[in-house]
Amino acid sequence: MYLVDIRLESTTRLAPADVRALLSEAARPGDGVEHIYVQPGPPSAGVPPREAAPSLDVVLFLSHLTLTESERAADTVLGRCTTGGLRFRRLSAMPLTLLVELLGLDG
């Protein structure tokens, strides 16, 4: 299982539930998307909050054997969602096991 972090930067104001639904509809069985998590992202630098649509951070949980396969699948899903001025940017990817190990270092 791999996690792929994505940021939606768009001029269109979308709720996290709308983005989750959009990505769910774009995912196909072969893409390996197991779960989609969406939360508000950080404010855009240098843009007054009232003028900018808020960014949203997305995590795709993908069930592929390699990081390369997971990134390719994420890019494929995102490519199906680029209508209407939506712009997704892949930020990072990591195995779920690494995230669990890193979180265990806090305690």
Mean pLDDT for each 10-residue chunk of the chain (107 residues)?
86 86 93 93 63 80 90 92 79 72 62
pLDDT computed for residue 93 by the predictor: 79
* Residues contacting 56, CB < 8 A, separation 6+: 7, 8, 14, 16, 19, 38, 39, 40, 41
Query: What is the distance between the alpha carbons of residues 6 and 19, in angstroms, rounded to a whole number?
Result: 12
Q: Are 26 and 67 in contact (CB under 8 A)?
A: no
pLDDT computed for residue 26 by the predictor: 92
pLDDT computed for residue 92 by the predictor: 82
pTM > 0.85: yes or no:
no
